[in-house]
Structure 1
């Protein structure tokens, strides 16, 4: 991004935070930025386009940082989540102008920005879900989306106390505290099996298509283990487990045959013989595969 465009964005953030979006004029922005109106319209067609660019500036910065963390092989999944939490604290608590602007609800005055915010929030949750899967393993797979949303929700509550009550927060202490609570939640779920509440395939089916093969295989192993642990040792159960093994082997191939996978899914549903627990888990697993 060139210097003038960044100057305009930073001036807009300052003015939108001090005043608001509607009472801030393009002239106000260029005067604070120290550029001409011509320079403004060289980069932005309208004030609305500038507003979109402001939020893109912040969201793109966060997305780039998460990708950098993800690709850092020297970090453990736990360290990646801690770094991500600390970075979010820096973004939210480190820029009072953006925070002030955000508190005024400006993002929800524009449908494009609102959709961008929702999409970005979901991408962040899915990123957290991936780290949670890597940290706790296949046993947490069915509950990984719940866990990611619980972690994200806890973080937002602490931001609330910082924003509304100006309660001081140490980002490193908060990140480590939240990860300890995540341990409590994850191990509690694995030690006391329960049904998940949220399913990524139902809430964001268009994003579930992008799930990595590794993550899907983790979920498939988890479902296979659940079938073995929660059904009677019958010939039907043995056949279902063998069928899951066959599906996993097919999915491991460079170009899996979706016809085979779909056929095996239908066969598994017939073997479930109306068992709602098995049918639910199979349906959720194969939602993006059928």
Structure 2
């Protein structure tokens, strides 16, 4: 992202938060940046386009923070606590912008923004799913979708208290507290041997409401995985996949062959699943 583009986005977010999206004019945004309207339109075709860019900028800042934490030598539990704390911190940095969105009901303002919000929701759900799977292992598999849903509900409820009711918490303590409640839930699910409410088939039907992964999503996940693995053969496999996906016309047999190398790598199951979904290989 170019410096001027970033400057416009940050100025827009600040003004949207202070004045509201509807009341903020492009002229006020360019005045805050010290640029002309012509320069604004070089980067954004409209105020709606700037709002979408602001959503993406906010989400990417959270995503970058979470990705950086997985590179540290932490256990799955420590990683989750650190990532949840970072997620809450980043959201709080932009709480006035979030309040504006809800107050003015800017979501969905158009189909492109609605599409992106659904994508963010799917990404967050995927982050929780992967974390819970690593922490609790195979025994939680039958209940992981219910546990994920409960986790999202708990996090959203505390965020509501923090953002709208101005409650103040130690975010590290809160993140640790939430994970301990997941421990209680996980143990209860496994002990109960009860039929889950959310099955994989049901969740698969729901997933049709969410956007398909993009090439950029797949490449970002592969790049992140390469930074984590230590096995040279797996690194080479990921590099081949990365190179193949970047081709104008990726070769499906090559991709299938490389995915076969990942079948015994549980830590990379999410990457394998994402690639299979992108190339529609799940039924092959």
> Counterpart of 1:13?
13
Return closer, same or farther for 1:141/1:73 CA change in 2, 3 Å cut-off: farther
- How much has 1:188 moved relative to structure 2? 0.8
- How much has 1:144 moved relative to structure 2? 1.3
> What CA distance in whole angstroms lies between the structure 2 residues aligned with 1:207 and 1:141?
24
> Counterpart of 1:79?
78
Return closer, same or farther for 1:125/1:47 CA change in 2, 3 Å cut-off: same
> Counterpart of 1:236?
none
> What CA distance in whole angstroms lies between the structure 1 residues aligned with 2:195 and 2:79?
27
> Counterpart of 1:152?
152
3-state secondary structure, aligned to 1:106: coil
- How much has 1:162 moved relative to structure 2? 1.4
Moved more, 156-165 or 73-82: 73-82
> Counterpart of 1:172?
172
Structure 2 matches for 1:24-173, cutoff 5 A? Answer: 24-70=24-70, 72=71, 74-104=73-103, 105-173=105-173
Give the CA RMSD over aligned residues.
2.8
CA offsets per residue over residues 260-282 of structure 1, 9 Å max, x none?
xxxxxxxxxxxxxxxxxxxxxxx
> What CA distance in whole angstroms lies between the structure 2 residues aligned with 1:162 and 1:103?
15
> What CA distance in whole angstroms lies between the structure 2 residues aligned with 1:78 and 1:179?
8
1:204 alignment partner, one of 204, 207, 211: 207
3-state secondary structure, aligned to 2:84: helix
CA offsets per residue over residues 107-164 of structure 1, 9 Å max, x none?
3223211221121111111121111111111111121122122112101100111122
> What CA distance in whole angstroms lies between the structure 2 residues aligned with 1:77 and 1:23?
45
- How much has 1:288 moved relative to structure 2? 4.4
- How much has 1:194 moved relative to structure 2? 1.4
- How much has 1:177 moved relative to structure 2? 0.5
> What CA distance in whole angstroms lies between the structure 2 residues aligned with 1:63 and 1:43?
23
- How much has 1:100 moved relative to structure 2? 3.1
> What CA distance in whole angstroms lies between the structure 1 residues aligned with 2:169 and 2:121?
22
> Counterpart of 2:226?
none
> What CA distance in whole angstroms lies between the structure 2 residues aligned with 1:142 and 1:208?
24
TM, length-normalised to structure 2: 0.69
> What CA distance in whole angstroms lies between the structure 2 residues aligned with 1:162 and 1:100?
11
Q: Are the aligned partners of 1:82 and 1:175 in contact in 2 as well (CA < 8 Å)?
A: yes
Equivalent pairs, count: 220
> What CA distance in whole angstroms lies between the structure 2 residues aligned with 1:255 and 1:75?
23
Q: Are the aligned partners of 1:126 and 1:148 in contact in 2 as well (CA < 8 Å)?
A: no
Q: Are the aligned partners of 1:126 and 1:145 in contact in 2 as well (CA < 8 Å)?
A: no
> What CA distance in whole angstroms lies between the structure 1 residues aligned with 2:22 and 2:121?
25
- How much has 1:22 moved relative to structure 2? 2.2
Q: Are the aligned partners of 2:66 and 2:83 in contact in 1 as well (CA < 8 Å)?
A: yes
